[in-house]
Amino acid sequence: MNRNLLRLAPLCTEASRCLSLSAASAIKVTPPQLSQRFSKKSKHRRSDLLRVMATPEIEAQLEPYRAAVKEYGDKIRALKEQGAAKAEIAPLVVELKARKKRLEDKELELAPVDAGFQRDRLEDLLKRRFFYDQSFAIYGGVTGLYDFGPMGCSMKKNMLDLWRRHFVREEKMLEVECTALTPEPVLKASGHVERFADWMVKDVVKGDCHRADHLIKDFCEKQLQDAKTPEDVRTGLTDVLARLEGFDNHDMQAVIEKYNIKSPTTGNDLTEPVAFNMMFATQIGPTGDMKAFLRPETAQGIFVNFKRLLEFNQGKLPFAAAQIGSGFRNEISPRQGLIRVREFTMCEIEHFVDPEEKSYPKFSKVKDVELMLFSACNQMDGKGATKMSVGAAVEAGIIDNETLGYFMARTHLYLMRVGIDPAKLRFRQHLSNEMAHYAKDCWDAECLTSYGWIECVGHADRSCYDLLQHEAATKVKLAAEKKLTEPRLVTIVEAMANKAALGKAHKADAKKIYAALEQLTSEQVEELEKGTADGGAYALAVEGFEKPVELTDALVTVRRAEKKVHVEEVVPSVIEPSFGIGRVMYAVLEHSFRQREGDENRSFLALKPAVAPIECALLPISSNAALEPIVARVEEELMENEISYRLDNSSGSIGRRYARTDEIGVPFGITVDFESAEEPQTVTLRHAETMKQIRLKITELADLIQKLSNEKMTWAEAQEKYPAFETKEADS
């Protein structure tokens, strides 16, 4: 979840990654599969789909745009190889992104659209069947806040349970649960208080707030849709959209003034953009003296508990900690349903590893997993995502290290298990202006939805930044020890206080000075030695003192000694996969939305059994009393095996009842009919997506459903094992 004011735009390693691609030139690249469900009513990024369908005529139209992107990509590489200053490269990066945007828009214009998916129909289904809805709806609702109903709550729980099994249990992670209330000093140290912000403008009369970049984007798109907009204005607006992501407050104000942009709701003038910190502020305690925030991420709770977690892991690296919990961001103008909200569920992993050893012992198990990689190099060259194995990508230097590659592969496998369409998933590498200065490599797992490519999972090698920040703020050492292969002699340099002299000069405050001296690094001790030489003085900063304490050689001396050490101190690097579960859930719902062939009014959700809110529906064919004991026996069988089910014994036709359960994503339907009374008692099991049915004994039912839900057996394999049952699904 990147924020413009957090982007410190360092020089990074795209150039070296791009050069390393030559090592991967022999790797076979496979295009993504075609998408099956798109809508003319919704704007889509269909770039990757176009690349598989592109005719020579389309490619001829795209070639100038690709060449324009590559031109600036090559210029940036050349400057980086020459060691050019950041200020010299920055304008070229802005132009590169603008050209990249024009290429994507042209691809969008040329891409064919399938009208099979209609977002409004999916949203109607989700609201009507209460998967989720806007919070406090009877009071008019609050934007950016959502309540999950029975279906949504169950589906979300299943996704979280699967996440725990897939990551925490299988990877033997240490799970924690930390408070959402975070004192201000913690978030000051992490940088959130200073930089976690977006640009905001206000209606000068009404005071209504708008996120500046969204306001400009909406204005430009509206003007471009207006046939009366002059061609020269269209060109300017298109250029603004292309460059908008890199705009600061001055750039946005210039656009607002140039195009005379007003408040979209009142038509009033707007203030200049100001930075708005998106954390929810609060106080802890009745006096209000302790400032705090609702956490914007769960990661900081893990970092501040690193020392305890390291002790729990017997002081050994590497290890991973995980946390599932709520994050809070006071979005200026929430939009796009579950995509941009003010309260959301996060699943975050912090994998602590030796910075010099980022190999992963289980990497060989995933090295052949193929991912759609949209590398920084491809983005700079105007190319699309390419399919490549994780092992090949790490070997070629496209993915920085094995640990990062391992978690990307595991994320891919999890997203497949919950129901993300593989043709609508890619991993996009961050460009240098998207990464914080401390980051080594970052990749976002992006899912294609009707809102475009949406970041659902972030993967970052955060180096050791967070631990160092909290160590500096608290003076608590957050490091591990690594055993050396051979002991070595090191020179210990430490400041020795003359306690008698310091005690006489500073009395009760002397203890604070002793503590400050103990915290000095070797470099600082050497500075102290130089400062106090020849009768000089060294200014020591002491916590709680308004001014530094002047120390002379009469108050402190420097001692050097040689010591044989068997371990060395290591501040771990952190590899962080961060999941936005709400975003993943929405992408799954959209990717699972279907309409029956030949009956567009009959829509349903083809959810994976592992995440479906209910595993199966139980439907007696009739209300005949003779079937009741059999229904009771099936219920008992399902309950004993902890299989969720829904009994529908209403008077509607079996076809209508199937349709009701299909709509909410129930993958299997159990029908008790009159044949079920015959010995051995049997039922039919219906697969919702294909509408095919098989007949099997009641004693075999629970075991089969569990195998299907746990992906130990496919529906096709079940059809081969059990006899088919043919019936016509009547609607009346």
Which pLDDT tens digit goes with each residue over 462-489?
889 999 999 999 989 999 988 888 888 8
Residues of the chain with pLDDT under 50: 1-17, 19-53, 114-115, 730-732
Locate 652 and state its tokens: 């509607």
**CA quadruple 155, 161, 162, 168: dihedral sign:** positive
pLDDT for 599 equals 75
For 590-627, the DSSP string reads HHHEEEETTEEEEEEE---TTT-SSSEEEEES---GGG
Q: In what order do the strands lie in the sheet with 319-328?
A: 174-175, 319-328, 343-353, 573-580, 452-461, 441-449, 425-429, 370-374, 386-389
Q: What is the spatial distance between Cα 433 and Cα 455, in angstroms, rounded to a whole number?
A: 17
pLDDT for 174 equals 98
**How remote is the C-alpha of 510 from its chain's centroid?**
49
> pTM for the full model?
0.81
pLDDT for 25 equals 34
pLDDT for 135 equals 95
* DSSP code of residue 335: B
Q: What is the spatial distance between Cα 326 and Cα 643, in angstroms, rounded to a whole number?
A: 28
Q: What is the spatial distance between Cα 358 and Cα 264, in angstroms, rounded to a whole number?
A: 50
What are the angstrom distances between the C-alpha of 516 and each of 50, 273, 540, 545, 557? 63, 42, 8, 11, 14
Phi, psi of 236 (to 5 degrees): -65, -45
